[in-house]
Chain A
């Protein structure tokens, strides 16, 4: 049952990254759209993410619940040393969620308040994945230092370092990429498709640059990133698959073939990146400065709790997945 719970944990993280990421990306794209096009962009994006965005957000809740029920020691250690970035990420979640719904459900749609909600929405859409990435980068890369005796080393430099920050920006770029690709499949307007394909390409280039920065930072912070990725066959295959799919993606985009394929390929790439890193670190989930780590296979809750959690997740997914499928289907139908 432990492995089922771990599988759900990774699935929830991945889905949050893909769906929530596309969602964050919508705000990031809006942030980097010229003022002339903002209105149009917003309308298309709103149609695309409006009905599903509350559901996308739930994967974060599922992730947290799995962590604190199944892996309480890991959860509480992360909460102690990554308190500040978690807090900032949460502020982003709050600001973003409320601004998005206020913008859409405000009965009076005057320009001034709409612009105000928009400001909050776009900046928090940037900040949230940035800190999500910083948290992931810090947990996995051995930056957390529980032995530190001063505030700065224990609670600040555990996450404020070149590597974590680079991972943060990489995450932001990936979210922007995912969103652009997601929206390509959402509109039938030829001009818009062209625009979003262009955006997707730009975001992709930015992501590649940020990825390179992550590598540079890993050298600086003495994180053996290359070893992680090229050191085991699964990660290596995943990285190669991601690279090949990037090529295929460009080919399809350039020939404007089936747009669903573009989406799948983009999602596939991000999954491969997560798998590559996740597998190389597995079963370690949090790694400390002194090289010790907390493993998902040992730092878990008692067997009863894990069994019940596993059953809860399995039964829950019987309800959630069809419902979620129906939600996506119901709002795809009218698009065709």
Chain B
């Protein structure tokens, strides 16, 4: 493994790890605040127990998210000093604001976790809400920094110099809205489905049914609504990518040749050498329609992009297919949920219904990782789209592969530890929260 690949792998690993924790960190505090609100309103102790149980989860995920986030802010410099030297002042604005949001989140979390019996109920509740709101704000800000890498603005690049820097313009780059929206919705749908799935499993096993039923209902409503609106934001993102990163869109679709009535390719195995997709299903004109709202208008293919500026097609295409496939599946499951809810059926006593959600537990996170792969791999070989290549940004220090092995080990260990802890939390529900 050479240093460049090691640096990229380590970054991918760190982001892939952090993204799960930070998404849970955005979603769960909101669920927790809803349950807390219900407790204050109804004084039903089950809601209080759910709040406390979830807050433990929030604390564990916040701690892991915070340390992996700290790690990332250093890794930007440790692995990509060439990038940070120039990009820091341009796209640093959202990071500074994120620092503020994160700080407030940490303070609010301290107040929330230790505020039982010490703070006024509503002050305590507000602290919980602030955890959620600042978590979402952090998410938007960090994604806005990433969207700048995809859609750089707020500076002029003249003769290798970065001049006329405007950090505010850089923060509100053309892609910030669609990317952040997509990410936040993804966070809520993934977290909603995952939390609901775990509670569904416990109901299925007939354990503490009252507790898990109430918890399930709060989580799934977020997951289901988010899953249903996600395709809309996905469409917005794809149009955005088509306009600003035609190479990325072409790689996502494994679309090699520019043509009228551009087809949407579903599935298939891209053959980069022969420039075609084997075994894919083509729907003629649909890509043109999705990108240009017109079935005939040609869409630029990879043939319009010099080979040295093309992202890896296969990885981007597979990741995109996985994301979209799972997204559609989650949307369907959400529709089943709403249909049954509308029919007022006693859903949670039906094993098939519970199994559906148990099975769907990890789906959102797989889609999340796949989507992130599309964003990041689809941007290659650029670290700043069209301005700086990833290979120009990497640290001159050799031996990065050892650092990569080390971090692989650490992230693996942490993941095992978190799963272990969550398992113990769930096991202890009967003793701690369901008296």
Contacts and interface: CB of A to CB of B under 8 A. Distances in A.
Given A108-B424, A312-B97, A316-B99, A73 B106 contact: no
A324 interface: yes
Contacts of A334: 118
B110 interface: yes
A57 interface: yes
B215 interface: no
A98 B63 contact: yes
Given A75-B84, A316-B96, A54 B66 contact: yes
A309 interface: yes
A62 to B, nearest CB: 5
Contact of B107 (A60, A106, A312, A320): A320
Nearest to B112: A51
Interface residues of B, number: 68
A55 B73 contact: no
Interface residues of A, number: 66
Contacts of B86: 72
Given A75-B88, A102-B60, A102-B417, A308 B428 contact: no
Nearest to A117: B417
Interface in A51-105: 51-55, 57-58, 60-62, 64-66, 68-70, 72-73, 75-80, 83, 86-87, 90-91, 93-94, 97-98, 100-102, 104-105
Nearest to A58: B103
Contacts of A302: 89, 165
B90 interface: yes
Contact of B103 (A55, A66, A78, A91): A55
Chain B contact residues: helix, strand, loop or mixed: helix
Q: Which of B56, B81, B417 has the most CB of A within 10 A?
A: B81
B102 interface: yes
Contacts of B118: 330-331, 333-334
A155 interface: yes
29 contacts: A51-B114, A54-B106, A60-B70, A68-B76, A68-B77, A69-B89, A72-B84, A72-B88, A75-B77, A76-B77, A90-B70, A93-B67, A94-B71, A105-B60, A107-B425, A107-B427, A107-B428, A108-B428, A155-B397, A301-B88, A304-B165, A305-B92, A309-B167, A315-B100, A316-B96, A316-B97, A319-B104, A324-B107, A330-B118
Interface of B: 56, 59-60, 62-64, 66-71, 73-74, 76-78, 81-82, 84-90, 92-93, 95-100, 102-104, 106-111, 113-115, 118-119, 165-168, 395-399, 403, 406, 410, 414, 417, 421, 424-425, 427-428, 432
Given A58-B99, A93-B67, A330-B111, 4 more contacts: A72-B86, A102-B60, A305-B167, A331-B118
